[in-house]
């Protein structure tokens, strides 16, 4: 039974709401352990077969502070043998040139350190102009917009978690 680590900034409001929804959906199938990135150390990731990170983007393409401060620590973590997935929070109408950039930076980092990326979504599902999280026709993860598309979030999370389950087990 794969062990999931759900990593996010516990102090971020929308992020915590999204992480709760994702954790609830995945916990029907797997043990889910939550990890506050603010307190994470390299050993925090050891027990995870799948690392699901939930991260908003701030200030025109920046990581939130807790994630930004964790980057030097994350650069020392080996994600080899682990599957990694990302859920980004952003606003493609207000920040169309930086939509959910944070998960793009983090996906690059986690993959560089050996992680296998799962949970990509079609870029055509979103409205934006440019994003670091876009690779070809896909985004590196699920993107949620709490400002303009809150009504879609429950459905997006369910569809994504169903797809994650398939990719976790393949």
Nearest Cα to Cα of residue 28 among 4, 48, 47: 4
CB–CB of 18/89 below 8 Å? yes
Q: Angle formed by the axes of helices 101-112 and 65-74, to 10°?
A: 10
Please, which residue, 152 or 162, has the CB nearer to ligand FMN? 152
Convert residues 73-112 into a mask of x (bound to ligand FMN by CB under 6 A) and - (unbound): ----------------xxx---x--xxxx-----------
Which residues ranging from 14 to 43 are in contact with ligand FMN (CB under 6 A)?
14-15
Residue nearest ligand FMN, Cβ-based: 90
* Min CB(169)–ligand FMN separation in Å: 30
Residue 129 DSSP label: S
CB–CB of 101/132 below 8 Å? yes
- Token output for 39: 């307190």
By CB under 6 A, the count of residues binding ligand FMN is: 21
Nearest Cα to Cα of residue 77 among 53, 56, 104: 53
Range in contact with ligand FMN (rule: CB under 6 A) among 21-29, 54-62, 73-81, 110-118: 54-62
Please, which residue, 23 or 61, has the CB nearer to ligand FMN? 61
- Is residue 59 a contact point for ligand FMN (CB under 6 A)? yes
Largest pairwise CA distance in the chain? 41
Q: Summarize as ranges the residues that interact with ligand FMN (CB under 6 A).
A: 12-15, 56-61, 64, 89-91, 95, 98-101, 146-147
């Amino acid at each position: 039974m794969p062990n999931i680590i759900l990593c996010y900034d516990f102090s971020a409001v929308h992020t915590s709401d999204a992480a709760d929804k994702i954790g609830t959906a995945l916990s029907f199938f797997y043990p889910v352990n939550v990890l506050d990135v603010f307190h994470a150390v390299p050993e925090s990731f050891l027990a995870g077969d799948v690392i699901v990170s939930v991260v908003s983007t701030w200030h025109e393409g920046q990581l939130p502070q807790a994630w930004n401060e964790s980057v030097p620590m994350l650069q020392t973590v080996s994600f080899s043998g682990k599957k990694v997935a990302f859920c980004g929070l952003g606003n493609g109408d207000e920040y169309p040139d930086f939509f959910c950039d944070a998960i793009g930076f983090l996906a690059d980092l986690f993959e560089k350190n050996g992680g296998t990326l799962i949970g990509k979504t079609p870029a055509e599902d979103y409205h934006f102009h440019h994003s670091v999280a876009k690779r070809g026709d896909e985004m590196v993860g699920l993107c949620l917009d709490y400002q303009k598309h809150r009504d879609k979030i429950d459905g997006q999370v369910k569809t994504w978690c169903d797809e994650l389950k398939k990719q976790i087990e393949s």
